[in-house]
Amino acid sequence: MGERERGNVEKRCLVDFLEHYKCVKLFPGQENAQIIREVEVDKVSSLSRDQVAAIKQLWLDPGIQECYDRRREYQLSDSAKYYLTDIDRIAMPSFVPTQQDVLRVRVPTTGIIEYPFDLENIIFRMVDVGGQRSERRKWIHCFESVTSIIFLVALSEYDQVLAECDNENRMEESKALFKTIITYPWFLNSSVILFLNKKDLLEEKIMYSHLISYFPEYTGPKQDVKAAKDFILKLYQDQNPDKEKVIYSHFTCATDTENIRFVFAAVKDTILQLNLREFNLV
């Protein structure tokens, strides 16, 4: 799905939420909403002038903005604001996606996908697996001899619910999955690398959505980014029953290429050192 289709999907999601939950008593944008509803997303390769105008007017609508502020209550991409506020550029006939445009597109992983890549003359084979409940049964027994596990946590999901179950917290589910994985017999000899991702979104969200509202055990101050990061890191570290096993953790922002380059250099060194140690070479 490209950026143009993505903008339509995000807007339709907001419109549906507004009408279902009645964010405001008066929604003057019905005509614009209907224009968006009639778009066949899978067939879109360009946006008409009317569609662009409808998206822009809807995005400015107070009801839509109220729904956006309540996005934790439904399933909306983290990049919705990025695409919708830049719809003029994206809708241009000459539009070519920037690196940042591409990085912000999220495509859920289904099944098992392998990515071999060369990192400074060392070949790594990264196997990407879906974390959704429906995906786990496809891969959880397939990795008896992996060198390392990289587990991704979305820091910004502390106040969000699962797509599969709207009364279960995403971070609680992630935490439970993390414990399951690191205690599986297949993974006892694998190093564990924890990526605490979306630190940029956490820094924004923690200013208005308080951690204690979702994790009563949090005792730190409100609107304190460092305290929130430390608390979430400890949540995951506490899932490790083997105190001899080190969990290597990194706070990341996947859309920040410099940050990711630095983190992967550290990960490469970690994996190499662990491999050398396994063969008694250090």
Annotated ligand binding at 230? The verdict is no
CA angle 172, 175, 178 (to 5 degrees): 150
**Tokens 């597109």 — which residue?**
105
Annotated ligand binding at 194? The verdict is no
Two tokens, residue 146: 């992996």
Annotated ligand binding at 240? The verdict is no
Query: How much helix, strand and coil, in percent to the nearest 5, is found in the chain?
Result: 50, 10, 40
Annotated ligand binding at 226? The verdict is no
At position 259, the amino acid (one-letter code) is: N
Annotated ligand binding at 102? The verdict is no
Partners of residue 191 on adjacent β-strands: 148
In angstroms, the CA 194 to CA 248 distance is: 6
Annotated ligand binding at 199? The verdict is yes
Phi and psi at 242, nearest 5°, equal -100, 100
Annotated ligand binding at 128? The verdict is yes
Annotated ligand binding at 103? The verdict is yes
Annotated ligand binding at 254? The verdict is yes
In angstroms, the CA 227 to CA 223 distance is: 9
Annotated ligand binding at 18? The verdict is no
CA 5 remoteness from chain centre: 19
Annotated ligand binding at 88? The verdict is no
Annotated ligand binding at 106? The verdict is yes
- Give DSSP secondary structure letters for 42-72: GG-SS--HHHHHHHHHHHH-HHHHHHHHTGG
Annotated ligand binding at 4? The verdict is no
Annotated ligand binding at 107? The verdict is yes
Distance, first Cα to last Cα, the chain: 47
Three-state DSSP class for residue 126: strand
**Helix 62-69 with 3-21: angle, nearest 10 deg:** 90
Annotated ligand binding at 79? The verdict is yes
Using the 8-state DSSP alphabet, how is residue 89 labeled?
Answer: H
Per the annotation, binding residues for Mg(2+) are: 109
Task: Give binding residues for GTP as ranges.
Answer: 78-79, 103-109, 128-132, 197-200, 254
Residues flagged as binding site = 78-79, 103-109, 128-132, 197-200, 254
